[in-house]
Amino acid sequence: MRHAVPAVAGAACVFGFAPFYAWPVPILALAALFAAWERTATPRMAALDGLLFGLGYFIGGVSWVYVSMHDFGSMPAVLAALATFLFCLYLALFPALAGWLARRLAARNPASILLMSAAAFSACEWLRGWLFSGFPWITLGNSQVPSSPLAGFVPLAGAYGVTLVAALVAALIAAAARPFSSRGARIRVLAVAVAIFALGGALRLFDWGERAGPPVRVALLQGNVPQELKWREETRTRTLLEYRRMIFEADAKVVVLPETALPAFFDQIPYDYLEGIRQHAAATGKDILMGIVERESHNNAESDYYNSLARITGERQVYRKRHLVPFGEFIPPGFRFVLAVLKIPLSDFASGGKGQPPLEAGGTSFGVAICYEDIFGEEVIDQLPRAQALVNVSNDAWFGNSLAAEQHLQSSQVRALETSRWMVRATNTGATAVVDEKGYVVSSLRPFTQGILVTDLTPRKGQTPYVLFGNLVALAATAALAGIAWRIR
């Protein structure tokens, strides 16, 4: 029965993320986990509690990968369910490692164990986002954006810094809840927790940037093309015509189409089609940013394929996706056999590489993230401080009517707050939205509908501490907390 508590706590964490945004839940869930680690007898038992917490957390939070593998990747249901469970089991190894480290490194007293628990959990969250190209989906710090007072720490130390602060608050709550704690000790630790929330709330009032110019009108197109029909020949012409109609109707200086909006290689799109769009853009003063698939042929007749966002008006500019999705956009070495059961088109992309400049459109510099690139905070800041706004183009139709699209939107909210920049998102089926520099959704389209979202975006300049130092602040603070916990004897 005792082991059920971490599993239930992990599953409850899902309610802290979008679309629920119940930010206190993950903090209380962590408090329950840390209390279990403090009471357990050995590092091995703490690892088991962490594993059960992780299974609840990730089966509840990312099991939507089943939809992409089975519904759209044609993987048999049994294999897709098994692959989803194994993926969640892999992710659960990180909180399991955190539990083992917490009990292995801490002294044998509650204060040391609880503080080491906060440090170990935060360190393993960062490790999850880095190892094997990383998968920082639903990083715990994300759950505090945009409404929690702890969101005030995001511009300082990023999502991982907020993970650490939330874990520290959870450790304090667990300490106050210990049955043998004195009334005075409980008051003191809860006062520290309240002070942390107050500091975060005060930081929220600080503006880390400033306006860089007048507002720019941007139109975000949501084509709502069903994933199962997107690449079929019989729907290609209709998709091209619908997007051209929306481009012509969009009353904006910058028009953004979703990831791989047009279901063809860019060199296969009819010349007259593109020329008509360019002529319309020239006549109306529009800049068009289009999600496309490019291919580059080499002398040996082989081609490289790129998932790109291109400005097709004026002097052509292209951003090529650099952080590819394993098994979705490339197959890791040794796993080619997966293609026999996983039928996903265009699963052999090349990386665009680092150091790509922002795209210029409408007199504004846009830092670009394609699909899930915007869950990697340190990669997004590569284009700052030059970028005056952020743009994400995605196609979350791969995940059906699941939590994935809203969770992805929350990642964009975190990136906006980390950088003090507006973020605009153009997606195929949702969530197409506009996020301001404080991480709040200004406007959005209803998912699984076709539409045009027009907004007046405010270009911004300046650098937050996170833009300057990336995850170094969070990692240094985590190491410092671990050092304090280790020294308590």
- From its phi and psi, is residue 391 left (phi > 0), alpha (psi between -120 and 50) or beta? beta
Tell me the H-state helices in 362-464: 377-380, 404-419
Contact at 8 Å (CB) between 255 and 459?
no
Six-digit token string for 296: 């580059």
SS3 225: coil
Q: How many CB atoms lie within 10 A of CB 355?
A: 8
Q: Which residues are catalytic?
A: 259, 321, 371
Contact at 8 Å (CB) between 168 and 482?
no
> Which uninterrupted H or E stretch holds 227?
none
- 136, 224, 282, 356, 371 from 305: Cα distances, Å: 25, 24, 29, 17, 16
Could you tell me which residues come within 8 angstroms of residue 237 by beta carbon, excluding any fewer than 6 positions away?
A: none
Six-digit token string for 451: 């539409």
For residue 365, list its beta bridge partners.
Answer: 360
Quickly list DSSP for 265-311: BGGGS-HHHHHHHHHHHHHHT-EEEEEEEEEEE-TTS-EEEEEEEEE
Could you tell me which residues come within 8 angstroms of residue 263 by beta carbon, excluding any fewer than 6 positions away?
A: 225, 230, 231, 235, 236, 239
| Span between the terminal Cα atoms of the chain, in Å | 31
Helices 154-176, 24-39: inter-axial angle, 10-degree rounding: 50
What per-residue string of b and e applies to 93-113 under the rule 16 or more CB within 10 Å gives b? Answer: bbbbbbbbbbbebbeeebbbb
Six-digit token string for 375: 């869950």
SS3 378: helix
Residue in the block written with tokens 């409404």: 147
Whether the ω angle into residue 465 lies within 30 degrees of 0, i.e. cis, is no
Cα–Cα distance between 96 and 220 in angstroms, integer? Answer: 42
SS3 372: helix
Contact at 8 Å (CB) between 241 and 389?
no
Cα–Cα distance between 350 and 323 in angstroms, integer? Answer: 10
